[in-house]
Structure 1
Amino acid sequence: MKIAISREVKTAVLVLLSIGMLIWGYTFLNGKNIFSSSRTFFVEYDNVEGLSTASSVTINGMVVGKVHHISLKGQGKLLVEIVMTDKVDIPISSKAVIYSPDLIGGKQIALQINYNDPTLAKSGDYLQSGQMAGLIDDLGQRVDPIAKKLDSVLYNVNILVQTINKTLDPAAQKNLQEALAKLNATMGNANAITGKFDRIVSSNEAKISNIVSDFNTTSKNLSAFSNDLDKIQLQKLQDILNKFDNAASSLDKMMSDANSGKGNIGKLMKEEQLYNNLESATKELNSLLEDVKLNPRRYINISVFGKKAQPYAEPVKQ
């Protein structure tokens, strides 16, 4: 037998399901899933700026839980309740650090696990707290000193300008203005020249590239020619050294033969009789040449009438 369900019952069931889904969605958005087993931990902070309900709780970047509730405790302390949805063992000495994951988003809690601690935290325990400076906070800490120095520089510049204005008379101020105007014009001309130079380079880029290429080719050819020239000069120098070495060897052999009495030079140096004969022959030859010079008719006598030749007489040395 088919049971008829009235429209009122269907409406009531639908309303109850809607209420249940609304409650589940609200608790889920608040970081707690009523259909899953979870553990709750508490952390005390001095400042939770940027942290909100449903903020993620991570371990090495992986989401393992949510922030369920934030409440104000005595003496300005803030109590944060986190719900762990992942079954991860959390040692009691682990630290819950608030940090900024990026520049735009809010803050999260990173659990720094102490794996050397064997004692595990139970649901309801308190974990140690900590805070890490975010990118914006770190940037602000770096910018603040620079901003202070910049304020000091601007203040000094302002004082310098005021002093110059008070010191310079109207004529000097006018000259300074003219100098600045000329400097501005010079800078404008320099910019114009730079622009023209850029246009010239752009319009002749192909020619410049060819010139550079030709220069590289010429440089390579000169390098090769220099290497060949070095080889030729070295070969010539080696030939000259070889000839000099051969000449030195020949001279050394000739001197050795002369010292040992070999050859004409050796005999001349070693045989005294040959030397004396040569010296005597040289003296007689000199005497003969001198007599020919003094009495040429004695040796060359041409006479039509047949004049009698005079006998030879040794010339008298003066």
Structure 2
Amino acid sequence: MTTNKRASDFVVGLTVLLVVVVLIASTLWLKQADLGGRTKHITVRSRDVGGVALGNPVVIRGVRAGRVEQIALGDNDWVVLRLGFDREIELPNDPVVLLTASSLFGEWQATVTSRDGVPPDKVLKAAIEEARTSGDTLAGAVLPDIAQLTAVAGRISGDVAQVAERVQVAFDDAAARELRESIRNFAKLSSELARTVNAQSKNLDKISTNVQTGLATINDAATRLNTFSGRVDSATSRGELQTIVTNSQNAARELVQAAQNLKALTDRLDRTESNLASAVARADSVFAKANSRDGTMGLMINDPGLYRQSDSLVRELRSLVADMKKNPKRYINVRVF
């Protein structure tokens, strides 16, 4: 009897002990207690946490790596979260935390990503920049969930409906006729523009041909200039250009000397001209006096009677000379004693 009682007590005690162990293990499993010290924690601060709750998963590069262990209100209207995950997991470079909805049923998660992986949303980036600190606390921000996006989409659809209604009111039969007329005018304008383009394309072809001809001429001139430059370079290297320059300098000096000699000769000619003018004036004065009847020479030149008398005198002298040659004794009488 006593032995059976002891066996029953032992079974009851063992059962109670097993139940306690199971309860403790279940509690630790439900709380995901870190019994081996393999969990590390990071602190995140954000202005809002959206629908994030305790126990929500922490996701790194799409893989569940931990859970949200604590959510508390901080100073200056900040919300502070503590995330726990395995120590062997490495965080991305320059990490930030995005609090996002993971499904349509209200489930949320904390996604750890690099700052470069943040979506290009100005409001989101501004919230992350505002939450940055100089310590180990990471910056966090809430991505818009499906409900917010749906509300925004509803507002957008309402605005689109209002715009469509206004367009329908404005676009009546008169507007349709005006639109058709505008389309016809646009077709005519397109035809005119096509004809103009065709006409101008021919002119452009001519201009292109002229441009090509001009370019060919320029290329020819450049080739000639290059040849001339080569010749000048060759002449410079052989000293011919220096010789030409020296000869030009010598010729210039000789021209200057010739110009000086010519100037001196001109001065001499000026003086000679002055003397000749004076002599001509004097000769003119002499000729004027000779031409007048006042002097002896003037009378000899201008008096015909004197000329006739002189001519008669000359004839008589000739006759006398002839008679002296014929009868010399009549004029010369030589006696010798």
Tell me the TM-score normalised to structure 1 length.
Answer: 0.38
Structure number with greater Rg is 2
